[in-house]
Amino acid sequence: MQYTSELKRLVLPEYGRNVQQMVDHCMTIEDKAERTRCANTIINIMGNLFPHLRDIEDFKHKLWDHLAIMSDFKLDIDYPYEIIKKENLHTVPESVPYQASPIKYRHYGKIMEEMLKKAESMPDGPERSALVSMLANHMKKLFYQWNKDSVEDEKILKDLREYTHGVIDLDASTYHLRDVREPAVQQRKSKNNSKKAGK
């Protein structure tokens, strides 16, 4: 009895040992046209193993790349696509530059900071008021996601004032933000208020 651990290591285990053996057999065929026909049959079998991927763009191209990899790039056939080069198989992609600029309050995020800068630079008027209202309410929602224990309007408006260097200064006693708590929490508060009112 031969254990799987004693067999040849599979290059792409997702296709299984039978497909690998087909590829190995294909490489032994002397006639190039016959080899190419055999390779096309193997590609169809490989595609049948992942039918849900058939509609994905370049799926066939990837299968031919995988066939070349499984043959250690030794299968001499007429490939219908330009296959991946062996030297490019393990190349490391270039690192993507990441803007590591500091964020004042991480729970609000960088985009909110940029939007508040925009609001700060806008002239006073209904357009800025509408934007400030949306931003302040969204800040409250973001704050609540970060800290569900406490989300006071006064804290949100204080942060808004700080972000805009005092340009947007709203009074918590007169400016009220929407309730962003979960429905269950709002329901409990509503019931408690109803009980207090009934006393």
How does pLDDT run across 2-26, given as a tens digit for each residue? 666 667 788 899 999 999 999 999 9
pLDDT in tens, 64-94: 999 999 999 999 999 999 988 888 877 777 8
Q: For residue 182, which amino acid is it?
A: E
Its domain, for residue 115, covers 109-182
Please indicate, yes or no, if residue 188 is contained in any of the structural domains: no
Please indicate, yes or no, if residue 83 is contained in any of the structural domains: yes
The alpha-carbon radius of gyration of the chain (Å, integer) is: 32
**How crowded is the C-beta side of 56, counted as CA atoms within 13 Å?**
10
Cα four-point dihedral sign 192, 194, 196, 199: negative
pLDDT at 6: 66
And the tokens for 152? 């006071």
Same domain, 63 and 131: no
At which residue do the structure tokens 């008027």 appear? Answer: 125
**81-90, 118-127, 140-149, 168-177 — which one is most confidently predicted on average?**
118-127
pLDDT at 100: 72
Single out the residue in 30, 52, 87 at which a domain terminates: 87
| CB 42, CB 26: distance < 8 Å | yes
Q: What is the pTM of this model?
A: 0.47
Number of domains in the chain: 2
